[in-house]
Amino acid sequence: MAVNTNGTKNPLLIEVQDLKTYFFLHEGLVKAVDGVSFEIREGRSLGVIGESGCGKSVTAQSLMRIVPSPPGREVGGKILLHLRSKDSNVEEVVNVLELPPNSAKMRSIRGKKIGMIFQEPMTSFSPLHTIGSQIMEAVLIHEKNIDKKTARLMTIEMLARVGIPNPQRLVDAYPHQFSGGMRQRAMIAMALVCGPSLLIGDEPTTALDVTIEAQILELIKDLQEEFGMALMYISHDLAVVGQMVDEIMVMYMGMTMEYAKTDDIFDDPLHPYTVALWRSIPKVEGKLERLRPISGTLPSPYAVIPGCPFFSRCESRMKGVCDAALPPLIEAKPGHKVRCFLYGTSSAVSQGNDAAGNN
Partner 1 sequence: MTESTKTPATTPVAKPEAVNLEDAVLVGGKVSAEERFYYASQWELIRWRFSRHKLAVFSLVVLVIIYILATFAEFFSPYTVDTRFDGFQQASPSKVHWIKPGGGFGPYVFAVKRELDPKTFRFHFKEDTSQIYPIKFFVRGERYKFWGLFYTDWHLFGIDGKQPLLLFGADKIGRDVLSRTLHGARISLSIGLVGVMISFILGVILGGISGYFGGVVDDVIQRIIDFLLAIPGLPLWMTLAAALPRDMPTLQLYFTITILLSILGWTGLARVVRGKLLQLREEDYVLAAKGAGASDWRIITRHLLPGFTSHLIVSLTFNVPGMILSETSLSFLGLGIQPPAVSWGTLLQDAQNLVAVAQQTWLMIPGLWVIGTVLLFNFVGDGLRDAADPYSR
- Using CB under 8 A as the binding rule, the residues of this chain from 131 to 170 that contact partner 1 are 134, 137-138, 141-142, 163-166, 169-170
Residue number with CB closer to partner 1 (54 or 208): 208
The answer to whether 339 touches 328, Cβ cutoff 8 Å, is yes
Q: 352: which residues sit within 8 A by CB, 6+ positions away?
A: none
**Closer residue to partner 1 (CB): 139 or 298:** 139
Of residues 1 through 20, those in contact with partner 1 by CB under 8 A are: none
Q: Which stretch binds partner 1 (CB under 8 A): 29-37, 242-250, 252-260, 288-296?
A: 242-250
Taking CB under 8 A as the rule, does residue 181 contact partner 1? yes
What is the C-alpha separation between 106 and 62, in angstroms, rounded? 12
DSSP H or E stretch at residue 105: helix 104-109
Phi-psi region of 344 (alpha: psi -120 to 50; beta: other; left: phi over 0): left
Min. distance of Cβ 56 from partner 1 in angstroms?
15
- Measured from the CB atom, is 177 or 300 closer to partner 1? 177
- The rounded Cα 79 to chain-centroid distance in angstroms is 14
HSE of 330 in the Cβ direction (CA atoms, 13 Å)? 20
Instruction: Give the shortest CB-69-to-partner 1 separation in angstroms.
Output: 9
Residue 187 found at the interface with partner 1 (CB under 8 A):
yes
Q: Which residue in the set 178, 259, 341, 343 belongs to the binding site for partner 1 (CB under 8 A)?
A: 178
Q: Which of 32, 36, 40, 245 binds partner 1 (CB under 8 A)?
A: 245
Is 198 a binding residue for partner 1 by CB under 8 A? The answer is no
Interacting residue with partner 1 among 98, 157, 172, 226 (CB under 8 A): 172
CA–CA separation, 130 and 334 (whole Å): 50
Indicate the pairing of strand 12-25 with strand 28-41: antiparallel
Choose one: 23-31, 88-96, 110-118, 148-156; the region binding partner 1 (CB under 8 A): 110-118
* 288 touches partner 1 (CB under 8 A): no
Residues with Cβ within 8 Å of 122's Cβ and at least 6 positions away in sequence, in order, are 180, 183, 207
**Judged by CB under 8 A, which stretch of 11-19, 26-34, 261-269, 299-307 contacts partner 1?**
261-269
- Which DSSP letter does residue 264 get? H
Q: Residue 10 gets which letter from DSSP? A: P
Instruction: Please tell me whether residue 36 adopts helix, strand or coil conformation.
Output: strand
Category of 195 on φ-ψ map: left (φ > 0), alpha (ψ -120 to 50) or beta: left
Number of residues that bind partner 1 (CB under 8 A): 71
Nearest approach in angstroms of CB 119 to partner 1 is 8
Q: Which is nearer to partner 1, 165 or 352 (CB)?
A: 165
Q: CA–CA separation, 246 vs 44, rounded Å?
A: 7
Q: What is the widest separation between alpha-carbon atoms in the chain?
A: 67
Q: Is 126 in the site for partner 1 (CB under 8 A)?
A: yes
CB of 187 to partner 1, least distance (A): 7
* Among the listed residues 90, 128, 291, 348, the single contact to partner 1 using CB under 8 A: 128
- State the DSSP string of 213-257: HHHHHHHHHHHHHHHT-EEEEEES-HHHHHHH-SEEEEEETTEEE
42 binding partner 1? (CB under 8 A): no
Stretch that binds partner 1, among 14-22, 146-154, 185-193, 248-256 (CB under 8 A): 185-193
Query: Residue 125, interface with partner 1 (CB under 8 A)?
Result: yes
What residues numbered 199-228 form the site for partner 1, per CB under 8 A?
Answer: 210-212, 214-215, 217-218, 221
Question: Is residue 317 close enough to count as binding partner 1 by CB under 8 A?
Answer: no
